[in-house]
Amino acid sequence: MKKALLVLEDGMVFEGQPLGYEGEAIGEVVFNTAMTGYQEILTDPSYKGQMVLMTCPQIGNYGINPEDAESHRLWADGFIVKESAPISSNWRSRQPLQEYLSQHQVVGIQAIDTRALTRHLRDFGSQQGIISHTNFDPERLVQQVRRAPSIVGRDLVSQVTCQIPYEWKEGSGNWKPTLSVHQPENKQNFDREAYRTVVVDFGVKQNILRRLIDIGYQVQVVPASTSMEEVQALDPHGIILSNGPGDPEGVPYAIETVRRLIGWRPIFGICLGHQILGLALGMKAHKLKFGHHGANHPVLDLRTRKVEITSQNHNFAVGIADKTDQESLEPRIFPTKWGRVQITHRSLNDGCCEGMIGLDTPILSVQYHPEASPGPHDSASLFYEFFKMVKTYHE
Amino acid sequence: MPRRTDIEKIFLIGSGPIVIGQACEFDYSGTQACKALKEEGFQVVLLNSNPATIMTDPDLADRTYVEPITTEVVERIFERDRPDSLLPTMGGQTALNLTVELSQKGILDKYGVQTIGASYEAIHKAEDRGAFKEAMQQIGLKVPASGSVRTREEAFQLLEPIGFPAIVRPSFTLGGAGGNIAYNREEFENFIDWALATSPVGQALVEQSLIGWKEYELEVMRDLKDNVVIVCPIENVDAMGVHTGDSITVAPAMTLSDKEYQRMRDAAVMIIREIGVDTGGSNIQFAVHPETGEMMVIEMNPRVSRSSALASKATGFPIAKIAAKLAVGYTLDEITNDITKVTKASFEPTIDYVVVKIPRFTFEKFVGSDPTLTTHMKSVGEAMALGATFKEALQKAIRSLEIDRFGLHSLHGLDGQYSSVPNDQNLVAHITSCLQTPTADRLWHLADGFRSGLSLDELYAITSIDPWFLEQIRQLVEFEHTLAAMGTIPDSHPSSRSQEAVDTHQPSQDLLDHAKKLGFADERIVQLLSRNLPHSQTREPAPPSHHQVTYKRVDTCAAEFEAQTPYLYSTYGLQCEARPTNRQKVVILGGGPNRIGQGIEFDYCCVHAAMALREEGIESIMVNCNPETVSTDYDISDRLYFEPLTKEDVYHIVETERPLGVVVQFGGQTPLKLTLPLEKEGVPILGTSPDSIDRAEDRKRFSELLNELGLRQTRNGSAQSPDEAHRIAAHVGYPIMARPSYVLGGRAMQIVYDSDSLDRYLQTTLLDTSQFPLLIDHYLEDAIEVDVDAIADRQDAVVAGIMEHVEMAGIHSGDSACSLPPHSLSQNLIDEITTQTVALAKALGVVGLMNIQFAVQHDRVYVLEVNPRASRTVPFVSKSIGVPLAKLAMKVMVGKTLRELNFTQSPSFKHMSVKEAVFPFTKLGAVDILLGPEMRSTGEVMGIDKDFGWAFAKSQAAAGLALPAQGTVLLTVKDADKKATISLAQRLVNLGFALHATRGTATFLEEQGLTVEPVNKVKEGRPHIVDFIKNREFCMVVNTVGSTSSQEDSAPIRKEALYQNIPYFTTIQGAVAGVMGIEAMLRENLTVRSLQEYQGTPRGN
C-alpha cells in the first residue's frame, strides 16, 4: 500500500495513504464539520492558503458535478479525509472526487485518524501542515513547514480575486431555497425592478451571485483592488463585500476603500467582507483558535431572539474592543464616525460577533454565509433584508 | 421563553406492550420525558400497561398507572388526578391514537385537559392521508398519487392514474400495518379484498409505489419560537419498498450532495411548520428518484419515533428529553447540550463516524409466515454499530445481531472467493433469484453476488440498492479474498498440511491491521484463514490486545468541543479517548437486539443494575448495541460503550477499564453465553459462579443436582443423534417435549406425541444436526406451570414471587398468562415450591437472581428448569411487590447481604397481578395462533386489581382484546376438554351469553342440558363458522384442538378471529380465566389505582 505523511508545525505526524495529485503541499490545516458539500468547500476561494480536513469520514460519495462549484477552480491547498469514495453515486455526478483532485493538482491524504487530528487542532489551535506523498522523513518535513509563511497578515485576496470586472447572470435555478419563510412578503416588488449591485470580489462564492440574481439584481463583480472612484463610477444601488480568504488586516487597501464607501450607498458585508467592514468602522480583528468551519453553527439574532443554523468559514473575527463583549447576548450598540452600529448576531457556541447593522447609516453584515452552499438556508432572508435596505434608501 | 407556569400536572401516555413496530424505543422516550418533566418540577401522571418499562418505575412519576390504555381508564384517571395537560408525543402511535380518541369523545374538554407538544389538529393533519396530502401540496411538495376506496370497482378506477406497481393497505390500522405491493391485476384484486376486510372501517388505500427510489429520514425538532433543527439525516440502504424499520439504515446520509440535502431540509422545516407540530420532535420520510433526483414526501410522524431513538443514539442528541422540555415552554437555545456542557441544544449535530443499523428478524419462529420484506414492518429488533467508516460500522452491526454471523459469511459456500466474471451460471441464477425479493438475508446474498461474479451494475439492477453501498460490500468481499488467499497453502508446498506450512503462510501484520480497520471480527479472520485447513490446524489470530483498539467519544459535534460525557465506540485509530477512571467499577453486559424471548425486560434489569451501582458508589459501565433501549442512554450509566456483545469486543472493554468484574445475569441469554469464554480469558464474573451457571444449564449435571437434593424431575434424556432421540423418547414415554440445548424463548421446542411426529420434528423443525444435543423430557399433560423468581446472597435465599400460569404446562412461559400470587394453588404447594426454590438456590450458590419453572401435576411438584439469572418476569414481579429486585441483586453481587438490604421474607399480597402476552400474528401473515412451547409473543401487559377476575379482565383489555359483557360465544373444543367445558358453558349462560358450537361440542353440551346453537365447520357447508366470525356474530371464541389434523382444520377460525379482533382462547384454562374476568366486570365497575397507592412506600432500597 502506498503511503503519505501529514506533518504539523508542532511536530505531530500522521501516516496515511495518498489522495489526489501526487506531490507535496503546505497550508494551514483547518477542520470543517459539514457533513455534505465537499465540492463547494474545495472550490471556495476562502480556503486559499489552507488545507481542509473533513471531519465527516466518507467523502466523495456523490461525486463532482458542474452545478455545485463555488468558483471556476479548486482553491484548497490540501485535502484530508478519513476515506474517499473510489466510485461516485449520484444522478448529477460527472466525475469521481479522486480524479477531480488529481486533475486539479490538489494533494491530499486519507486513512488517517481524522478525529485525533481534529482534537489536536482544537486543543492546540490551527497550524501549518505539510502533506507529502514523496518524502517520508518527518524531520525534514517539519523544517519545511516551519519555513512556510504564516497566514496572519498575508494578502491572500489578491491571489483569488478576479482580474477584470465582469457581469454575472446566472441564478440558482432549480436549487433556489424553498423555505417559505424566506420568501419576500410582496414578491412582485422584487420582480419588477432590477437594482444594480457591485460585488467586490475578495474571493466570492458564486452562490452569493446566484442569490442576488434570484432576487432580481443586476450583478457587476469587480476586483478587490477596485478603488472607491471606480465603484462610484458604476453607480450601483448597493454594494456587496464578498467573502474571501485569510486575515482581513492583510488587505489594508480594501479597508480603506470600504471606509470611503460607508454612507454613500447601502453595503452588505459577508464573512471577510464583514470583517473588512468592521475594521473600516474601527472594530478590532482577532484570530480564532481553530476558527468556525461547518454547517451547523447556531447564531442568535439578538433582536428577535431566534436562532439560525448557519454555514460558517472563518479563522478571524471582529469585535468591539471590549473585554465583556463576547458574554453579552444583548443587541449592543456602539458609536462610530458614521453613527450608531448595533451588534445583531452572535454565535451561541462562543459568543463571537456574527453580524451587525448600521442604525444611522445603511450597512448590514454577517460573519457567516447567508448564501449557504454548503449549509442550511436559514439565513437566506438576509438577502431580502439587504434588498429592503436598498429599497428604503432609494425611495 | 422560560418554563410555562400555567400548567402543573402533566398526563403522559406510554406505548403499551412491545409489538412489531413499537418496541422499547418508547420506554426510552417516555423515561426521558418523565425525568425531564420531573426535573422541571412538574407533577407527572403516567399511564402504561407494560410493566417491563423503566418509565413505570414508581419513582419516575408522581402517579403511575399500570392499567389498560383505553379511554375508559383515562377518564377514571382524569377524575382522580385532574391533570391540566397531556403530552401525547412520547408513546408512539398508541398514545397518538388514544389522544385523538380522547379528543373526539370530548373527554379532554370535559376535564379541561390541554394537549402540549402536538395538538389534535396537528396529529390529524399528519396522520390523515388526505389531510396530509393536501397540506403538502399547499407548500408545493410532492406526494405519491393515492386515494382511498370502499369497493373493488372504485379501486380499479383509481388504479388507472396510479398504475403498477401500486401499494394497497387497509385504512386506520397501526402505522404501516398491512401494506402490500401489487404488480398485476390479480394481485391487486386480492390485496384490495383483503384490505377492505381488514380495515376496521372497510376502507383501503391505493398508492403509487415508489419502489426502488432512495429513501431518507430526517429527525426534526421545533420549539415555541419556531426555531427548527434537523437532528440527523438517515439514509436507508434498502431502497423504497422495504419498510424503514426493516431496512438497513445509515447515518449520516451518504449519497446526497449538499444542494440535495438542503432541499430536503427546507422541505422538512416547511412540513413541521405546515402540519403545526408546536414543539418537539417529528420524523419525516422522503423518497428520491435515483436517476432524476425528484423528491417526494412519504410521511410524517408528529411524535418521537423509533427513528428518533436511533438518531438520538447515533448523535448523542437526546431528542425525547429535549422534546419534553420544549413542550413545557423552553426554547432550544435555553437548553444546554448535555454532552459538551458548554454549547446549546439549538444546533445540528454533526458526526465524525458512521452509524449502521440492521434489523433483526424472527421468521423461523413463525411457521408459514412470509419472510419477504415489504412495506409493513416485520422485524422484532435491531442492532446499531458505530465505526470510523461504513465498512467498519457495517461489520460491527452484523456481529451485534447475534445471528452467528461475524461478517459477510457466504450463504452458498463461497467464502474467500471473488470473481469479476460469472463462472457458474446456475449459481449466479440462484443468487439472482435470492436477491430479487428482499429478505432478511439480502445483505449476505449481495456479498455472494460479488463472489459469484455478478457485477455492481447487475446487482444494482436487481436490488436498487445504491451503487455506493454495493461498492462498500464489494470492497469487503475483495479484501476477504485477499485475506483468504493468505490462508491458502499452495498444494505444491512439500508439506501442505503440516503445522510448519501453516505457520509460514501467515498473513502480514499490516494485512491483519488493515482487516481490523475494516471492522473484521477475529472470528471472521480465523474463518477466512483456516478455510482450507483441517480443523485441528485452525489457527488463532494474533491475541486481541495485539491490535490497538481505541475508543472514541460520541460528542454531537465531531470533536469541535470537548465531550464531557463518556459515550464511547471502538475503532482502530491513533488516539484513545476512553480515559478510564481509577474508581471501583463494574461492567454490565446488556441484552443486545430485541428478539422474541429477549427484550425490554432484560434492559429493565440492566438499567436497574446501573442505578444500584450508582447508589453503592461504584462506577457502572454499560455495554450494549440496541439503540431502542433505555440502557444505552448516556445518563443511565457512568460510562456507555455502544459495542457488539461478543467475546472479542467485551474483552477489549474489560482490558481498557479493568473493572471489579462483569455482570452477566441481567442481559438475558446474550451475556450468559459469554460467561465461560470470558472467564477463560481471566475476566472476573460477578454473582453466581460460571460453574453454577453451567451446572444449571447442563442437563446431566442438573439431573445430578436434583437427585442430590431429592427433587422430582420429569423423565428425560439428551440425544446426540436421531436414533438416540427415538430410543430416549420411548424410554421417557410419549408425549415428550423436545428442544435443542442452550436456547432462549423455546426456539425449536415442541411437544411430540408419537414417533412419527418425532421423525417429522427431526427432519423439519430441527433442520440440521448442529442442533444436537437434543433434550427430551416426558411431557406432563394438564399440569399447572409455575414460575418462581428468587434472589439469594451467600447466606439467604428469598422467594420474591410465585406465578401460576393460566395456560397449562407446555405453553411457553413467556406466552402464558400468569397470576401473582397464584390464584388456585394450595398453601401446601406454595410452601413446597418455596422450600425447593431455597434448596436449589443454596445448592447452586446463587448470588443474585434466579428463576425456576415448576410443573404441578396431581399435587406433585416437578422442577422443569432453573435459570441462575434475571428472568423475563423480574420487572413484572418487582412492579407487583414493590421491590426493585434487579437493584437488590446487583447490590448483593457487589457484597451487600439481603439482611442489610432488608429483604428477607417473601412479600405478602393485598392485590392480584396478571401478566398477559401480546403476539405479532397479524403482522406476519399466515401464521397459526395456537400457543405452544416455542415462545412467539413480543410483549406483555399487566393487569392489577384486588381480585383475579378484574386483574385478568384488565390484562385482556390491555392486550387489546377486551372481554365482552354480552353476546354470543362460540365453543369448539377437543374431546379431552369437553368435560371441563360444561361448567364454563353453564357460567356463560348464567352471565346471559348465548352459545354457538360446532356439532360435536354442541351435541355434547345439549346432552348436559344446555341450549346451544350448532354451526357448520368450514367443510360442512355455508354459512359456516368463518362466515359468522366475519359477520362479527360472536363476541368471543373458545377453540381448543388436539391432533395436528384438527389444528389444520380449525386454523381459519383462529385466523379470522384474529383479523376481526375478537377475543379468543385456545386453552380451556384461558377461557375459564376469561369467564372469571367477565364475572368480575359484570359484578362491579372499573376502578384504577396507581402503583404508588398499591405499594405505599417502596421498600428494600
- Could you write out the three-class secondary structure of B583-637? CCEEEEECCCCCECCECHHHHHHHHHHHHHHHHCCCEEEEEECCCCCCCCCCCCC
Low-confidence stretches of chain B (pLDDT beneath 50) = 175-176, 496, 535-536, 542-545, 1098-1101
Nearest CB to B560: which of A86, A113, A122?
A122
Q: Model confidence over A82-106: pLDDT tens digits?
A: 999 989 999 999 999 999 999 999 9
With CA atoms as reference, report the closest residue to B970 among B919, B1040, B918: B1040
CA distance B701 to B695: 5
Contact B363, B403 (CB under 8 A): no
Nearest CB to A35: which of B252, B514, B577?
B252
- The CATH number of residue A183's host domain is 3.40.50.880
Q: What is the ipTM of this complex?
A: 0.97
- Phi/psi for B328 (5° steps) reads -100, 20
B209: number of Cβ within 10 Å: 22
Query: What does the radius of gyration of chain A's CA atoms come to, in whole angstroms?
Result: 21
Alpha-carbon torsion (B632, B635, B641, B642), positive or negative: positive
Q: Is the domain of A229 the same as that of A127?
A: no
* B141/chain A closest Cα distance in angstroms: 10
The reply to whether A162 belongs to the active site is no
The reply to whether A56 belongs to the active site is no
Contact B556, B316 (CB under 8 A): yes
The chain A residue lying nearest B1, using CA atoms, is: A305
With CA atoms as reference, report the closest residue to A41 among A27, A24, A59: A59
User: How far, CA to CA in Å, does B236 sit from each of B217, B243, B328, B349, B919?
Assistant: 8, 10, 33, 19, 28
Active-site residue, from A249, A271, A292, A352: A271
The C-alpha cell of B414 is what? 463461497
Domain limit, last residue, from A146, A175, A204: A146
> Crossing angle for the helix pair B467-487 and B442-452, nearest 10 degrees?
60
Instruction: Enumerate residues 6+ apart whose C-beta is below 8 A from B492.
Output: none
3-state class (DSSP) for residue B81: helix
CA distance B1074 to B956: 8
Can you give the pLDDT at residue A185? 47
Is some CB atom of chain A closer than 8 A to the CB atom of B294?
no
**Domain annotation covers residue A292:** yes
Scored b (16 or more CB within 10 A) or e, A257-276 reads bbbebbbebbbbbbbbbbbb
Is some CB atom of chain B closer than 8 A to the CB atom of A112?
yes
CA distance A132 to B230: 38
Instruction: Enumerate residues 6+ apart whose C-beta is below 8 A from B241.
Output: B181, B209, B210, B211, B212, B374, B375, B438, B464
Can you give the pLDDT at residue A239? 98
Alpha-carbon torsion (B401, B407, B408, B412), positive or negative: negative
Helix H or strand E encompassing B1056: helix B1044-1059
What is the total count of domains within chain A? Answer: 2
Is some CB atom of chain B closer than 8 A to the CB atom of A326?
no
- Return the residue matching grid coordinates 479548486: A74
> Crossing angle for the helix pair B948-958 and B1068-1083, nearest 10 degrees?
100
- Phi/psi for A254 (5° steps) reads -70, -40
Is some CB atom of chain B closer than 8 A to the CB atom of A14?
yes
- The CATH number of residue A104's host domain is 3.50.30.20
Is some CB atom of chain B closer than 8 A to the CB atom of A230?
no
Q: Is the domain of A189 the same as that of A163?
A: yes
CA distance B483 to B510: 11
- Return the residue matching grid coordinates 461498492: B471
The chain B residue lying nearest A67, using CA atoms, is: B259
Q: Is the domain of A168 the same as that of A99?
A: no
Q: Is the domain of A122 the same as that of A162?
A: no
- Phi/psi for A149 (5° steps) reads -70, 145
* Beta-carbon separation of A39 and B343 below 8 A: no
* Beta-carbon separation of B389 and A116 below 8 A: no
Measured in whole angstroms, how far is the alpha carbon of residue B479 from the centre of its chain? 34
- Phi/psi for B128 (5° steps) reads -80, 120
Q: Is the domain of A243 the same as that of A363?
A: yes
Can you give the pLDDT at residue B225? 93
CA distance B670 to B691: 17
CA distance B686 to B895: 10
Q: Is the domain of A115 the same as that of A26?
A: yes
> Crossing angle for the helix pair B600-615 and B874-881, nearest 10 degrees?
60
Nearest CB to A116: which of B346, B351, B573?
B573
Contacts of A180 in chain B (CB under 8 A): 139, 270, 273
* B457/chain A closest Cα distance in angstroms: 12
Q: State the best of A178, A302, A305, A377 to mutate against chain B, taking most chain B CBs within 10 Å.
A: A178
Contacts of B263 in chain A (CB under 8 A): 175, 178
CA distance B544 to B652: 7
Domain limit, last residue, from A146, A173, A205: A146
Domain limit, last residue, from A80, A114, A146: A146
Q: Model confidence over A237-287: pLDDT tens digits?
A: 999 999 999 999 999 999 999 999 999 999 999 999 999 999 999 999 999
**Domain annotation covers residue A151:** no
* Beta-carbon separation of B574 and A116 below 8 A: yes
Q: Is the domain of A74 the same as that of A180?
A: no
* Beta-carbon separation of A87 and B388 below 8 A: no
Question: Which residue type occupies B532?
Answer: N
Query: What does the radius of gyration of chain B's CA atoms come to, in whole angstroms?
Result: 29
**Domain annotation covers residue A95:** yes
* Beta-carbon separation of B574 and A297 below 8 A: no
**Domain annotation covers residue A152:** no
DSSP state of B962: P
Residue A190 has pLDDT above 80, yes or no: no
* Beta-carbon separation of B353 and A57 below 8 A: yes
Contacting B residues, span 371-400, partner chain A, CB-CB under 8 Å:
388-390
Q: Is the domain of A11 the same as that of A73?
A: yes
CA distance B546 to B527: 19
Can you give the pLDDT at residue A181? 47
Q: Is the domain of A168 the same as that of A313?
A: yes
**Domain annotation covers residue A122:** yes
The reply to whether A371 belongs to the active site is yes
Q: Is the domain of A82 the same as that of A188?
A: no
* Beta-carbon separation of B575 and A37 below 8 A: no
Contacts of A82 in chain B (CB under 8 A): 352, 388-389
Is some CB atom of chain A closer than 8 A to the CB atom of B273?
yes
**Domain annotation covers residue A356:** yes
The chain A residue lying nearest B511, using CA atoms, is: A1
Nearest CB to A58: which of B350, B390, B561?
B390
- Return the residue matching grid coordinates 447508589: B615
Q: Is the domain of A260 the same as that of A383?
A: yes
Active-site residue, from A9, A40, A308, A371: A371
The C-alpha cell of A23 is what? 506531490
Contact B605, B308 (CB under 8 A): no
Would you mind telling me the total number of residues written for chain A in this entry?
Answer: 395
Q: Is the domain of A211 the same as that of A315?
A: yes
User: How far, CA to CA in Å, does B832 sit from each of A377, B793, B798, B839, B909?
Assistant: 72, 21, 14, 11, 19
Using DSSP bridges, classify how beta strands A127-132 and A4-8 pair: parallel, antiparallel or unpaired: antiparallel
Nearest CB to A62: which of B227, B255, B561?
B255
- Return the residue matching grid coordinates 471480527: B521
DSSP B854-904: EEEETTEEEEEEEESS--TTHHHHHHHHT--HHHHHHHHHTT--TTTTT--
With CA atoms as reference, report the closest residue to A112 among A154, A81, A90, A157: A81
> Crossing angle for the helix pair B152-162 and B185-198, nearest 10 degrees?
130
Domain that holds residue A96: 4-146
- Return the residue matching grid coordinates 470586472: A165
